Amino acid sequence: MINYKNEISKLISDSININIDNITGFIEIPNDSNLGDYAFPCFRLAKELKMPPQKIAEQILENMKYDKELIDNIEIVGGYLNFFINKETFIRESIKEFDKKRENYGSSDLGKGKNIVIDYSSPNIAKPFHIGHLRSTVIGGSLYKIYKFLGYNSIGFNFLGDWGVQFGKVMAGISLWKDEYKFIPGEEINTILDIYVRFSKEEKENPEMTKLAKSWLKKLEEHDEETYKTWEWIRKISLENFQKTYKLLNSNFDVYHGEAYYNDKMQGVIDELKSKNLLEESEGAQVVNLDAYNMPPCIIITSAGTSIYATRDLASLEDRAKTYDFEKALYVVGNEQQLHFKQIFKVFELMGYEKYAKRCEHIPFGLVVDKNGKKIGSRTGNSVVLEDIINEAIDKVKNIILEKNPEIENIDETARKIGVGAIIFNDLNNSRIKDEIFDWDMMLNFNGETGPYIQYMYVRTKSILDKAEYIPNIEDMNMNKLLDKESINIIKDIYSFNDVVVEAANKNEPSIISRYVLDIAKNYSIFYNNNRILSDDEETTSARLYLTYMVNIVIKNATSLLGMEMPDKM
Ligand code: ARG
């Protein structure tokens, strides 16, 4: 594929006697294509050349010898050099490139042989899998797929919160009230949740309850047989329950090493910290002092003599580095844990793992809020259990479809794809650090910037191709039938797909792909509204069908990177 930025950068540096590394980085893509396909702002060289931008532009243009096959025309406007590429070449080369890969278009082997450990979702067991975990699950799931598409070996890591004081609460609650509750097979998780909620409530009024919870945790930590069995049982049914949500959302994990997995691996970390003189005593606890880095101390062993979250995370990080020799380790976790990760990465560096510590990155994200900006999930009374919410989306979609198209086949499957797709797209639609607005009307609007809108455009391409019984073939295709502006805009999108995926990976930002797929869907919609695809003109029809075919695949591939599935009909 022609790399236009590189080609233009070469042309520029060959035209002036100056050695600058980053010309490629300065090249822009004008918003208005009347100003060219690429533009070079000459003021970037003004300091170096001691000339006004306009002069620089003139001089470069005067010396520049360019191939008409590549560049059609160059204009000078306001100190910019505007490059108009040769559209025939562009279309031909882009289509040929697409045709080589077809279903795999956009993928690459950039990351071949490199491991990326992605810690995401990682819910706490014995607590509800609630809407707060949606974002980590969806953002992490998308990053997992993006890296895979670029040839990396993604390792989906679920660091289940399967140890800690919440177990003490549930077990204490069970011991107190088990005769009052029914444990219905398949629905035990709800009972456990009820007990947890009741315990937490009563605890607020009665501090004795906290003591009781701690005593149960202690029994668990001492591996009291009965208690440990109960823990295993709670873990098992929680996990079974999470799997239902993961299945709905299409989430993949390669490893489920929860906090409990590190129970017998923490001593190693503690010994290492000791031998490196990193541990000091503070108010009865063992901590790593981080004053020098403007952070509060990282507690390793509490004054009660127990390990904590940080200790487990360190043990897990060491294990990840040793097992995977990772290129990157990502932690897709809410913004409120920022300090925790800064501390962990710093302590890990101080332990001597500088190389790996530098490869760790916390990937934070904003809250889920309602349309008034109020956080969802904070005791609103509404159901915030993730599985219920997803099922609600599916039901709502089903009703919408039944109204529009009652005869549709496979309605359940279609409603699932659209409902889940709407939730996923809504989550990934804006940069992750922004709060996500969770509003049914907004995310289920088939004409908005939504998942259903994208799916609708996809279905449109599919039904056109099906109707024409299209078999893609570029052999005798007259590509010059795609020289109109609307087609070229679409081909430009197609041309940039892989770059977009790379950028999304570099910034760990799936929204770059969401915005991209919205853009191509909109461009196709404009094209579709203004042109007939199937007509008597065979050459035009066949070129437009190929264009439609490319859009079909690119939407499918791009949305699959977000974790969305495309319905066949809707
Ligand atoms: N279980 C934690 C929570 O729900 C998230 C864990 C994130 N991963 C990690 N390695 N600390 O808040």
Pick from 159, 331, 347, 365 the residue to mutate for probing ligand 1's pocket: most ligand atoms within 8 Å of its CB: 159
Q: Does domain 386-562 have CATH number 1.10.730.10?
A: yes
pLDDT attached to residue 190: 84
Pocket lining: 333 vs ligand 1, CB cutoff 6 Å: yes
Which of 168, 164, 328, 171 is CA-nearest to residue 258? 164
d(CA 114, CA 326): 7
pTM of the entire predicted model:
0.94
Which of 72, 78, 39 is CA-nearest to residue 58? 78
Pocket lining: 53 vs ligand 1, CB cutoff 6 Å: no
**Based on the number of CB atoms within 10 Å of its own CB, is 241 exposed (0-12), middle (13-18) or buried (19 or more)?**
buried
pLDDT attached to residue 380: 44
Pocket lining: 162 vs ligand 1, CB cutoff 6 Å: no
Ligand 1 mean position, distance from CA 110 (Å): 29
For residue 37, give the DSSP letter: S
Query: Over the stretch 372-423, which tens digit does the pLDDT of each residue have?
Result: 988 886 544 445 788 889 999 999 999 999 998 888 889 999 999 999 999 9
Order across the sheet with 38-41: list the strands: 38-41, 80-85, 71-77
pLDDT attached to residue 25: 92
Pocket lining: 259 vs ligand 1, CB cutoff 6 Å: no
Helix (H, G, I), strand (E, B) or coil at 498: helix
Tell me how far CA of residue 91 lies from CA of 96, 227, 522, in angstroms: 8, 68, 20
pLDDT attached to residue 377: 65
CATH assignment of 115-365, among 2.60.120.620, 3.90.1150.10, 3.40.50.620, 3.40.50.300: 3.40.50.620
Q: Domain coordinates of the chain in residue numbers?
A: 4-85, 115-365, 386-562
Question: Per DSSP, what are the bridge partners of residue 341?
Answer: none
Could you identify the atom of ligand 1 that is nearest to the CA of residue 313? Answer: 10
d(CA 553, CA 412): 24
Ligand 1 mean position, distance from CA 317 (Å): 13
pLDDT attached to residue 229: 93
Q: Does domain 4-85 have CATH number 3.30.360.10?
A: no
Ligand 1 mean position, distance from CA 112 (Å): 28
Ligand 1 mean position, distance from CA 123 (Å): 7
Instruction: Using 70 as the pLDDT threshold, list the residues of the chain that sit under it.
Output: 128, 377-383
**Based on the number of CB atoms within 10 Å of its own CB, is 378 exposed (0-12), middle (13-18) or buried (19 or more)?**
exposed
Closest CA to ligand 1's atom 5: 122
Ligand 1 mean position, distance from CA 342 (Å): 14
